[in-house]
Amino acid sequence: MSRFAKPIGFALLFCAVVIAPFLVSNYHTYQLGFVGLYLVALVGLDILTGFTGQISLGHGAFMGIGAYTTTILVVDHGWRDLWTIPLAGVIAGAIGVAFGLPATRFSGPYLALATFAIPLSFIGLLKRYPHFTGGNVGKNLPQLHSELGWHVNPSIWFYVVCWVVALVMFPLAFLIVRGRFGRALRSVRDSEIAATANGISTAGVKTAAFGISAFYCGVAGSLYAIGITYVNPDTFPIDLSILLLVGIVLGGAGSLYGMIFGALFVEFIRISWGPSILNLFSKAHHIDTHAPGSGLVVYGVVLLLVLYVAPAGAAGLIRQLMTLVTRLRRKKDASLSDPSLV
């Protein structure tokens, strides 16, 4: 049964992705495009955080590096945006490896703090070299438009691009975390000492995981720039890095399928769900929904609730539910076969 689980799951995901734009409005299709790119980013970060156990507070900056790679190539060098996507990943990945080489000698909270420096210095550098990056003023990309002979609504085109990339990079992550390399990742997470004792270069494995996750985030950032059609330092605030981490935890760190929930959360909590939940309350309890920062309160409350109800994230919650169902069924089977209870 479980031998077919992954192919079946992937086939279902594929069907859902194909059907979704026919079910929802163009605007929601546009939003689901962002879900696709967040999925790429979260899956990448999950390889580092969920599978290798290294917390990063800086991966929003790798999205930024990917986004600026695409923007500068498209705006200043006339590249076609689609062709910049892999390059954005490679550049972000290379920078990730370069940062990972020294930084992964740290571990635990020290590494987290070191990664916190990435978005800080990234924003500083963007403002320091305005002739190259556009500085505070930022850069406008061409508006969304369908290409390659397609004539569809720009939102649908964006959705298609994001999910084609996501459906390539998502299964790729399964290949990365299985086998010898995947075991090395998990052993570093579970016990660095035991991993070293078994001949694993922990720094090497961590650096590789860092590079892979930066590559994923770079690709996601490239798509982000294409979708937003504008970049400036405010587009990649430090919150973005935190939000990615929150997405992983809520999805269920260490589960790749859980990242779908994480990506949905990251995209919808700020733009759609937060305000709607707030509006529900405002009607019932006369809360000023436009009070500065009230949206953040919802975000915080939802976060706490989820952590309380499902500390292992959405994937963990479903696993728990399944265990419960199985147990109930066993009980039922047991009661039927026990003559004393009939």
Partner 1 sequence: MRKTFLLIATALAVSAVVVVTAGATSSATPGVTAKSILLEGTFPLSGPASGYAPIPAGMGAYFAYANAHGGVNGRKINWHYEDDGYNPANTVQLTHKFVEQDHAFALVGGLGTEPQTAVRQYLNDNKVPQLFVSTGATTFDRDFATYPWTLGWQPDYEAEGAIYGKYVVKNLSSAKLGVLYQNDDYGNDYLRGLKAGLGEAHQSMIVSAQPYDLSATTPPAVQVAKLKASGADTFVIFATPTPTIQSYVIATKLGWSPAHVITNSVSATDPFLTIAEKSGSNIVEGTISINYLLDPSNPIYNKQPGMKLYRAIMAKYDPKGNANDPLNLYGVAKAWTTVQVLKAAGANLTRAGLMKAARSMVYTKGKNNANPFALPGVAVFTKGNFQYPISQVTVIQYQNHVFKPLGGLINGRGALR
Beta bridge partner(s), residue 140: 230
Comparison of 9 and 102: residue with beta carbon closer to partner 1: 9
With CB under 8 A as the contact rule, the residue among 13, 200, 217, 219 that binds partner 1 is 13
Q: Mark residues 213-252: x for contact with partner 1 by CB under 8 A, - for none.
A: -----------x--xxxx-x-xx-x---------------
Comparison of 137 and 197: residue with beta carbon closer to partner 1: 137
Strands (E) across 63-116 are located at: none
**Footprint on residues 129-148 left by partner 1 (CB under 8 A):** 130, 135-138, 140, 143
**Footprint on residues 196-215 left by partner 1 (CB under 8 A):** none
Cα separation, 194 vs 197, in Å, equals 5
Cα separation, 323 vs 330, in Å, equals 10
DSSP state for residue 188 in the 8-state scheme: H
- Nearest-approach distance from CB 124 to partner 1, in angstroms: 5
Comparison of 10 and 106: residue with beta carbon closer to partner 1: 10
SS (HEC) of 59-103 = HHHHHHHHHHHHHHHHHHHCCCHHHHHHHHHHHHHHHHHHHHHHH
Tokens of 68: 């600026």
Instruction: Give the interface size with partner 1 as a residue count (CB under 8 A).
Output: 71
What are φ and ψ of residue 52, in 5° steps?
-105, -10
Q: Mark residues 145-184: x for contact with partner 1 by CB under 8 A, - for none.
A: ----------x-----------------------------
- Nearest-approach distance from CB 128 to partner 1, in angstroms: 5
**DSSP helix/strand/coil, 139:** strand
Cα separation, 317 vs 169, in Å, equals 25
> Which window, 44-52, 105-113, 188-196, 286-294, contacts partner 1 (CB under 8 A)?
286-294
- Nearest-approach distance from CB 5 to partner 1, in angstroms: 4
**Residue entry with tokens 């798509």:** 223
| Residue 69 identity (one-letter amino acid) | T
Which phi-psi region, left, alpha or beta, contains residue 106 (left: φ > 0; alpha: ψ -120 to 50)?
A: beta
**Footprint on residues 259-278 left by partner 1 (CB under 8 A):** 260-261, 264, 268, 270-271, 275
Comparison of 138 and 204: residue with beta carbon closer to partner 1: 138
